[in-house]
Structure 1
Amino acid sequence: MSMKTSDSQYAECLYFTSSALARKVEKMANECWKQVDLSPSHAYLLMAVLEEPGMQPGNLAEQLQLTPSTITRLIEKLEEKKLVIRTTEGKLTNVYPTPKAKDLQPELRNCVHEFHTKYTSIIGKEESIRFVKTLTKIADKLTD
């Protein structure tokens, strides 16, 4: 018999509940992004670079709410896959999408759409919108 999170003694614990949610969302997201052979983190970084070619790693870290070292690892992996290139001018590093990344853009959009459709079909469209807004507000309050 499977126990629901709401039945758990930890149901009112932010850490337990947010971790359980993160694992479930991660699993769902990984399924959607599998078709482009990228993790969700790699895909969202790539989409940010496609939207704004020449982004600096620090801006990517801020936008994606990841540490600079994580951003560096993600960029390195995308470079290995020939999806981004880095240029350095003095102390400034800029990240650009490759033609291969630009060709992948429609598939990336499809993954975003598929992921959104999956979770809104479970949670509901209006609830999804409210929930993401609430999570964003909470994340902004819980600064590092």
Structure 2
Amino acid sequence: MENSSVDNCLLDNCLYFTVNKLSRAITRMAEDSFKKTGLSPTHAFLLMLVNQKPGISQSELAEQLHMMPSTITRFIDKLVIKSLIERKAEGKRSLIFPTDAGENMQQEIQSAWKDLYRNYSAVLGEDAGKDLTKLIREAGNTLE
């Protein structure tokens, strides 16, 4: 029994395990908040970026979402199938535009994002949530 307590203490001081624990918790909250949109949180954020900047390139989406281009391609494929976005070729580049249905989801997506913010702020406290977000963003930028 005592060994288990020691093991937990070791893992509690490991950034890798601690960040993954946080990631699982915030992912559950995000999935709950975005459930009403019928989209995963990542699909919803991608669509929100496309709505904000029609004609955005796949490489810009990959950069903004901190994902590999091949992953972005899969996300785009799913949103194309749902008729929420469309691709238009411009030379070698593929530009992404929202459809009317995609644009019409913007308010619902923003509402889900606000719900997520309210939900984690209720648990962490609004200032602590903002501070944690800033600290994690800065650490991620430094580690990249």
Same fold by TM-score, threshold 0.5 exceeded?
A: yes
Task: Write the distance in 2 (CA, Å) between the matches of 1:131 and 1:8.
Answer: 22
Give unmatched runs, 5+ long, in structure 2. 1-7
Report sequence identity in percent: 36
Per the alignment, residue 98 of structure 1 pairs with 99
Cα distance, 1:9 vs structure 2: 2.9
Q: Which amino acid in the other structure matches residue 90 of structure 2?
A: E
Secondary structure in structure 2 of the residue aligned to 1:10: helix
Larger radius of gyration: 2
Q: Which amino acid in the other structure matches residue 136 of structure 2?
A: L
Alignment map for 1:31-70 (pairs within 5 Å): 31-70=32-71
Per the alignment, residue 79 of structure 1 pairs with 80
Per the alignment, residue 9 of structure 1 pairs with 10
Divergent runs of 4+, >6 A: none
Could you tell me the TM-score, scaled by structure 2's length? 0.93
Could you tell me the TM-score, scaled by structure 1's length? 0.93
Larger RCO (alpha carbons 8 Å, 6+ apart): 2
What is the alpha-carbon root mean square deviation over aligned residues? Answer: 1.2
**TM-superposition CA deviations, 1:56-109 (whole Å, max 9, x none):** 000000000010011000000000100000000211210000000111111111
Give unmatched runs, 5+ long, in structure 1. 1-6
Q: How many residues align?
A: 138
Structure with greater helix share of residues: 2
